[in-house]
Amino acid sequence: MRAAVIGVGVIGSLHAEILSEKNMLAAVCDTDENKLKKYACPGYTDYKTMIDAVKPDCVHICTPHYLHAEMIIHALGAGVNVLCEKPLCINRQQIEAILEAEKRSAAKLGVCLQNRYNKENVFVKEYLKDKNVKCAVAHVAWHRTKEYYASADWRGKYATEGGGVLINQALHTLDLLQYFAGMPKTLTASVSNLTLKDCIEVEDTAVIQSVKGAGISLFASNGCAADMPVNITVRTDKDVIQIYPGAVLINGVTADIEKTTEKPRGKECYGSSHGILIEDFYNHIKENRRFEIDGKEASKVVKLILASYESGGSETEV
């Protein structure tokens, strides 16, 4: 399989590193030519030209959020498989257009929600298989600085990032809440900018509550004094399940979960499951099986986020 990475910034470099180790990296693309120089493979500044010239089996889309939809639709239209970084896209029209493009194409779309592959989350998903989840609650308390937002001009703006802490940092955790508890029918949310008013127009803090269809609560902020570990608590009829990075407690007792053998790559908050997800996606392509985190599945968390932005403190349909 020959793969190409579009956008070799922070996370695209990590995708390229993984693909290089597997001898699969056929080309890279970035509008910033300087970022192409460190790669031995051909580099392009235009992704359409690259797709025409290289005809890769798969492209990895690692560009700013607002570009995901057009790049996914173009690649699927050219019959090229796509692994896109989160989020799938940033508005409802884009969701519809992506799902249409997916239907029309024989190629596959996968979205990089790698935390679903963390051993503790795999264990909990399996544990919950025959149980009734009453509520899933999470805290994402992270620290993002002015320097972080200044590191790329798409960050912190509605037009290019699509939102703030919800669509970028807390998306993985919100996805896990719905993965464990199911999709709520409605939600009530409040978003605000408590600590970063002078540098971003999007929210740095958000609270989401839902009780209809599925019980989900999320408290998320980029305005914390330090990066704290994410924790998720799930309540079923009988159990309280607490999930921490690398550990699960069931009714206070540590569960025996498999330890990951993957090395962490990039920032601590990325975890170590990018490589596992990438390998799984390629196995699905080779065996022509439906990849679980396709457009429809990855659109669920985007719909929760968009409803949260629309809510303004009132109960809103998802």
Between 113 and 248, CB nearer to ligand NAD: 113
Per rule CB under 6 A, count of chain residues that contact ligand NAD: 25
114 binds ligand NAD (CB under 6 A): yes
Strands 253-254 and 247-250, how do they pair?
A: antiparallel
300: exposed, middle or buried (Cβ count in 10 Å: 0-12, 13-18, 19+): buried
Inter-residue contact 85 to 62 (CB < 8 Å): yes
> Of these, 20, 31, 186, 316, which contacts ligand NAD (CB under 6 A)?
31
Is 142 in a helix, a strand, or coil? coil
Inter-residue contact 276 to 283 (CB < 8 Å): no
Q: Is the peptide bond before 87 cis (omega within 30 degrees of 0)?
A: yes
Inter-residue contact 162 to 91 (CB < 8 Å): yes
Binding span for ligand NAD by CB under 6 A among 59-67, 95-103, 208-216, 243-251: 59-67
Residue with tokens 């127009």: 201
36 binds ligand NAD (CB under 6 A): no
Across the strands, what pairs with 223?
143
71-110: contacts with ligand NAD (CB under 6 A): 85-86
Q: How far apart are CA 75 and CA 69, in angstroms?
A: 10
Smallest gap, in angstroms, from Cβ of residue 196 to ligand NAD? 17
9 binds ligand NAD (CB under 6 A): yes
Between 114 and 299, CB nearer to ligand NAD: 114
15 binds ligand NAD (CB under 6 A): no
Binding span for ligand NAD by CB under 6 A among 30-38, 95-103, 187-195, 236-244: 30-38
62 binds ligand NAD (CB under 6 A): yes
> Of these, 112, 216, 278, 293, which contacts ligand NAD (CB under 6 A)?
112
Residue nearest to ligand NAD (CB): 9
Q: How far apart are CA 109 and CA 80, in angstroms?
A: 9
Q: Tell me the DSSP string of 129-175.
A: TTS-EEEEEEEEE-B--HHHHHTSTTTT-HHHHSSSTTTTTSHHHHH
> Of these, 51, 56, 63, 165, which contacts ligand NAD (CB under 6 A)?
63
Binding span for ligand NAD by CB under 6 A among 64-72, 174-182, 217-225, 239-247: 64-72
Residues 285, 286, 289, CA angle at the centre, nearest 5°? 55
297 binds ligand NAD (CB under 6 A): no
231-270: contacts with ligand NAD (CB under 6 A): 270
| Both structure tokens of 313 | 């403190």
Binding span for ligand NAD by CB under 6 A among 57-65, 96-104, 278-286, 290-298: 57-65
Between 8 and 24, CB nearer to ligand NAD: 8
Task: Tell me the CA distances in angstroms from 10 to 64, 73, 128, 163, one per residue in order.
Answer: 11, 23, 34, 19
Between 152 and 240, CB nearer to ligand NAD: 152
Residues near ligand NAD, by CB under 6 A? 6-12, 29-32, 35, 47, 62-65, 67, 85-86, 112, 114, 152, 168, 270
